[in-house]
Amino acid sequence: MPRINLLPWRDQQRRERKLTLYVWLLFALIGAMLVTGAGYLWMSSMIESQESRNEHLKAEIRILDRQNEEINDLEAQKQRFISRMQVIDKLQRSRSEIVHVFDEITHIIPDGTYLTSVTQTNRKFKLEGVAQSSTRVSTFMRNIAASQWLRNPELEVVEARKESTLGNSFVLYAEQIALPGDDDEAPVASKKAKRTASAGGAK
């Protein structure tokens, strides 16, 4: 019976299997490298796209910041302009108010009383004068309290003057009233009524 040696065939089959395995391993390695490379490129593309969006957002934010600064500057300029207008309006109103105040003083001061000094600090007046009696000073203070242009009379001092025919010197304070609108049309009827009452009280 003949003998057949199968060892070479088995060795060749083993080598072929190893070669096939190596080929598949190579394909798997190449596939893994391709997948990894594609993933890396995709991630890089996503990162670049996000960075581009971030830069665009930063640029838009810088533009908005500049616009906000310009708006704040305009708002500050507006407030300065409004403040100037208020100062001008206050000065214009005070010009007419002071005329009303001095006109009012000439009508509410009682007979037998005259002023030697009138000093204004902001809206407060210091009135110095001489009166025949302390009653005249009290009448003057009541007239100030009832005035449309002065209020809050405060007596600082009243004392007898021996060298004067008029009996008492006095110092009192009063505050100026700021009327809304401040037009030249003061309530004439009420002013006339006050003046009549003041004259009647001084007699």
| Beta-carbon contacts of residue 107 (< 8 Å; ≥ 6 apart) | 191, 194, 195, 198
172 Cα distance to chain centroid: 38
- Residue pLDDT, tens place only, 6-40: 557 677 778 888 888 888 999 999 999 999 989 88
pLDDT digits (tens, 9 = 90+) for 148-159: 888 999 999 888
Q: Can you give the pLDDT at residue 198?
A: 43
| Neighbouring residues of 183: CB distance < 8 A, sequence distance ≥ 6 | 96
